[in-house]
Structures are given as structure tokens and as C-alpha cells.
Amino acid sequence: DTEVTQTPKHLVMGMTNKKSLKCEQHMGHRAMYWYKQKAKKPPELMFVYSYEKLSINESVPSRFSPECPNSSLLNLHLHALQPEDSALYLCASSQDQSAYEQYFGPGTRLTVT
């Protein structure tokens, strides 16, 4: 199984809603990542988890809250988002933080209204 899955595929939420994005991999990878990608722009790193601990937070606003409940799961909790947060949110995983190949999930397309 070389797949990273993400749910939901699409999400529309209001600015007062609370929602969560989920990411799962069963490749035994110990590093997991959240990226944000706006239309026609490259992915931008948000968070890195290594061995279930937050390793990197790229100065992401607190309305985005990551969580890694176990080595296979990565969540991104969303609260009080702004319309400019609308984007494709990509999850990725790698063997560990030094491994060169990252496997990306299909992404969740988020629209904030």
C-alpha cells in the first residue's frame, strides 16, 4: 500500500464553523506533512510531524491546529477561517524526515464562505 488518503475531498465551510481534515497512511512512515496550495501556486509547507511530534510550524495562524493521534493519522483542525484560507490542502508522508521521497495525498479542496 503506497497510498496517502485524505478526507473529505471537498469541504465548504463558513467562517464560524469548526471542521477537520483527515490524512491517513499505512506505509509505516514516521514523518507527515501538511501543505497548502493556492490556485496556480506551488505547495507551501505548513506543518511537519516526526514520530508523532510537531517538528516544524511554518508560522501558521492558530486558526489551523494540527494533530497527530498516532503514526498513521494526521488531522488538521480548522476554526474561524477566512475566505483567503480557501485552497487545496495536501498531506504528504515520508519514511522519516531525512527520506527524500514524499508521497502526497490527493488533497482536500477547501472553500471558506
Partner 1 sequence: GQNIDQPTEMTATEGAIVQINCTYQTSGFNGLFWYQQHAGEAPTFLSYNVLDGLEEKGRFSSFLSRSKGYSYLLLKELQMKDSASYLCAVRERQAGTALIFGKGTTLSVSS
Kindly state whether residue 104 participates in binding partner 1, applying the rule CB under 8 A. Answer: yes
Show the DSSP H helices in the chain as ranges.
none
**Measured from the CB atom, is 15 or 54 closer to partner 1?**
54
Kindly state whether residue 66 participates in binding partner 1, applying the rule CB under 8 A. Answer: no
As a whole number of angstroms, the distance between CA 29 and CA 96 comes to 6
Least distance CB 105 / partner 1 (angstroms): 6
Binding-site string for partner 1 from residue 30 to residue 59, where x marks contact by CB under 8 A and - marks none: ---x-------xxxxx--x-x----xx---
Binder among 10, 16, 70, 101 for partner 1 (CB under 8 A)? 101
Kindly state whether residue 74 participates in binding partner 1, applying the rule CB under 8 A. Answer: no
